[in-house]
Chain A
Amino acid sequence: MILINLISLSLLYYLKKSSGAQEFPERLHRYFKYGMIAAGVLIALGISNAPPEILFELLSFVLVGAVIYLMLNTPELVYLKTLAITPLPIVGVKLLEYLVRTISPAIFEIVENYLDAAGVFAFIWAVTMWLNHRKQMKEIEIERIITKEQERQLRQTEEQKSQLELLVAERTSEILSQKEELQHALDHLRATQEQLIQQEKLASLGQLTAGIAHEIKNPLNFVNNFSELSADFLHEISEEMPKIPDSPEKENILDLLENIKSNLAKIRHHGSRADSIVRSMLMHSRGGTGTMDPTDLNALIREYSNLAFHGMRANPNPINVDIQLSLDENLPKIKLNSEDFSRVILNLVKNAFDAMREKLSAKNPEYKAKVEIRTRDLGDKVLIEVEDNGPGVPDQIRDKLLMPFFTTKKGTEGTGLGLSITHDIIKSHEGTLEIKSEEGKFTCFSILLPKSTE
């Protein structure tokens, strides 16, 4: 009977030991402990041959049966099924032997040999099953290791993945910002290209207009000269007329001559208008002649704003205007083509006068026309501002202001070249011209000129 209890004991011991790898509930541990104690007691009783032997033997079977039952019916131990059924034939044979011997010792003697043989087979079975179990356990262990390794790899992969994701996000934002930059650069490039095309067109247009202007200039000179001459002759005629005696015919002739005189004046007027356009066109397309010399910008502004003012006062429709100069007296000398740049000041100031005349004619008694010209030293650049409190420039035409032949002036007043020439001259000084305006309030032309490095 010791064998049965040893089986119980070793099964329980095995179970207890294997609980290290797999966590068994507390309940099972208690079972294992009590089972082992019971098996130990039964072994001790078996060795001591203490009576009643039959009862202890029965208890031994009950114990081993309970252990096997526990192993087969507990979900946590199901993987040990092979181990559980390993000792089953031995237990069975022993139980049969016990039962037969207990019930009928006579029959036991007859079947003892068979039972021994069965015991041997049961033992072989047990060994086989044990080996089988070992193999299974190894497989499970390998599987467990593989699973663990896979889990580890999975974790690692996950970690790498999150790291990569972080990197990707970083790169994506980098790429996005680069894309934005590129987009910006592209837009800028497009705008520049458009400007270039525009400039190219204007340049060829400039050459064309220069050619046309020259061609027109000659016939125009004839028109002007002959009309002037004819006017002189008419003057002579009117000096001769009193010498002729009066008659109805003479009346008629004098009348007609008056008409011719006024017609000639008109021809002369429109001829000189065309002439000023042609001259502006030529000025526009003329390449940079003249030299860039260090110039006292403030003095130039004083001189030419004054000239513009008196020019305006001497011409038809003079206006009252307050010119304020706030000039930076510490301005160094700037390299300028003073002949060209004086046109810039003249044009801008004249423009301001014309704009304000328009506002004055709107008959607002509160309105006082004022032009302010400022200069300021900005370090590597010089700022020149010409600001008037005229009617302002509507947004939709601000872009067109600098285009040649664009004019808002009515009828015969403007050639549409003034600001275009102004812009060209500023560009030839490597400067920029900017227009700020609020309708009804002010217009401010800001010129930025680089200071010469020499």
Chain B
Amino acid sequence: MKILFVDDERDVEDLFRQKFRKEIKSGHLELAFAFSGQEALDLLNSEDPPKFVYVFSDINMPGMSGLELLEEIKSRFPAIQVSMISAYGDQENYDKAMSSGAKGFFTKPVDFEKLKLEIAALTSGK
């Protein structure tokens, strides 16, 4: 199962790869990383249909914001689930994300247990 993380912080990749080390090793999970909204879209567009089933995106990014990316993905690939991860856990962002079709809303610092549960639910649902 392929999951894409979008964040402008490059260390996110190391962090998530290490956090999901076991799942990756066992082959349950395949992670990909993009460091801007555009890069994420390019990656999704490179395969047809994309194999990604879930996108986690930061909201505050230079260039395309996470919310814009959310709308973009939802209009092009409605099958892909999208959740937001943001340091700004305010009501406005939450409402906007939810009304644009986000599945979930995680606040930073990320609670990895919750994130793992979310992903596990996805795997078992499949």
Residue from B11, B88, B91, B112 whose CB has the most chain A CB atoms within 10 Å: B11
- Chain B residues 1 to 47 lying within 8 A of chain A, measured CB to CB, are 9, 11, 14-15, 18-19
Q: How far is the CA of A217 from the CA of B109 in the complex (A)?
A: 8
Q: How far is the CA of A174 from the CA of B9 in the complex (A)?
A: 72
Specify which chain B residues have a CB less than 8 angstroms from the CB of A229 in the assembled complex: 15, 18-19
Specify which chain B residues have a CB less than 8 angstroms from the CB of A224 in the assembled complex: 109
A204 contacts the other chain (CB 8 A): no
Specify which chain A residues have a CB less than 8 angstroms from the CB of B18 in the assembled complex: 226, 229, 233
B87 contacts the other chain (CB 8 A): yes
CB pair A218–B19 under 8 Å, yes or no, is: no
B108 contacts the other chain (CB 8 A): yes
- Chain B residues 80 to 108 lying within 8 A of chain A, measured CB to CB, are 87-88, 90-91, 108
A221 contacts the other chain (CB 8 A): yes
CB pair B109–A225 under 8 Å, yes or no, is: yes
CB pair B15–A217 under 8 Å, yes or no, is: no
CB pair A218–B108 under 8 Å, yes or no, is: yes
Specify which chain A residues have a CB less than 8 angstroms from the CB of B88 in the assembled complex: 214
Residue in contact with A225 in the complex, picked from B15, B87, B91, CB distance below 8 Å: B15
Please give the number of chain A residues whose Cβ is less than 8 angstroms from any Cβ of chain B in the complex.
12
A222 contacts the other chain (CB 8 A): yes
Q: How far is the CA of A221 from the CA of B112 in the complex (A)?
A: 12
Residue of A nearest to B9 (CB): A218
Q: How far is the CA of A221 from the CA of B90 in the complex (A)?
A: 18
CB pair B91–A289 under 8 Å, yes or no, is: yes
What is the CB-to-nearest-CB distance from A251 to chain B, in angstroms, rounded to a whole number? 28
Contact count A vs B, C-beta below 8 Å: 31
Residue of A nearest to B112 (CB): A225
CB pair A214–B11 under 8 Å, yes or no, is: no
Q: How far is the CA of A218 from the CA of B109 in the complex (A)?
A: 8
Residue of B nearest to A233 (CB): B18
CB pair A221–B108 under 8 Å, yes or no, is: yes
Given that A224-B109, A229-B19 are known contacts, is A217 also in contact with B87, CB under 8 Å in the complex?
Answer: yes
Q: How far is the CA of A233 from the CA of B18 in the complex (A)?
A: 9
What is the CB-to-nearest-CB distance from B48 to chain A, in angstroms, rounded to a whole number? 34
Specify which chain B residues have a CB less than 8 angstroms from the CB of A217 in the assembled complex: 87, 108-109
Q: Mark A254-284, 1 if CB is under 8 A from B, else 0.
A: 0000000000000000000001000000000
Q: Mark A239-259, 1 if CB is under 8 A from B, else 0.
A: 000000000000000000000
Specify which chain B residues have a CB less than 8 angstroms from the CB of A275 in the assembled complex: 109
Residue in contact with A221 in the complex, picked from B14, B19, B91, B109, CB distance below 8 Å: B109
Specify which chain A residues have a CB less than 8 angstroms from the CB of B11 in the assembled complex: 222, 226
Specify which chain B residues have a CB less than 8 angstroms from the CB of A233 in the assembled complex: 18
A-B contact pairs, 10 of them (CB 8 A): A214-B87, A218-B87, A218-B108, A221-B110, A222-B9, A225-B15, A225-B112, A229-B15, A289-B90, A289-B91
Enumerate chain A interface residues (CB-CB to B < 8 A). 214, 217-218, 221-222, 224-226, 229, 233, 275, 289
Enumerate chain B interface residues (CB-CB to A < 8 A). 9, 11, 14-15, 18-19, 87-88, 90-91, 108-110, 112
* Beyond A226-B14, A226-B18, 10 additional pairs, beta carbon < 8 A: A217-B109, A218-B108, A221-B108, A221-B109, A221-B110, A224-B109, A226-B15, A229-B15, A229-B18, A289-B90
